[in-house]
Amino acid sequence: KADELLTKAMAIAPNDAETQYFLGLIRSSQNRNADALVAFNKAKIADPTYAEAFFQAGETRVRLNKPEDAIADYTKATELKPAYFEAWLGLGAANYEANKWEDAVKAYKEATRLRNNNAEAFENLADAYRQVPNYVQSEAAYKLAALFIERNPNFNKEQAADIYSKA
């Protein structure tokens, strides 16, 4: 139904940033990643200050196995919105996938600064530190990740065990 309504919106305002952004979200949910990327890129052109469009373009590029290209989109999203936790996390992941360990560490450190109780961010930071290698910082980040994950009453014990084994 959303697809149907968006088709009507596209007929009215095909160059509107939000219309293109929402089209991208729908195409992404349909796993039509190439089409989603086209829509997100149109949203970025229509509104060069639309941080969420840059973030979603980065997410889509990662799904298309283009982490190098995703880095630019995530970076722009973090420049437009410096406290954008998800964009920092995505930037860390894209840098990690591109084997840019130091840059991954920097992005994940910013993500953990923004949300200093996020287990995923600390686990990813620890993984990046292992690649640098900086085992002391890696162990500390793994311990924090385990601490934060165990605070959730329904935490996944296998995931916690995995974190402990890495530490």
Query: CA-CA distance, 151 to 130, in Å (whole number)?
Result: 24
What's the confidence (pLDDT) of residue 58?
98
The 10s digit of each residue's pLDDT in 23-63 is 999 999 999 999 999 999 999 999 999 999 999 999 999 99
For the chain, how big is the Rg over CA atoms in Å?
18
What's the confidence (pLDDT) of residue 33?
97
What's the confidence (pLDDT) of residue 153?
86
What's the confidence (pLDDT) of residue 157?
87
What's the confidence (pLDDT) of residue 95?
98
Low-confidence ranges of the chain (pLDDT < 70): 1-3, 6, 8-13
What's the confidence (pLDDT) of residue 154?
87
Exposure class string for 6-42: b at 16+ Cβ within 10 A, else e: beeebeeeeebbebbbbbbbbbbeeeebebbbbbbbb
What's the confidence (pLDDT) of residue 152?
86
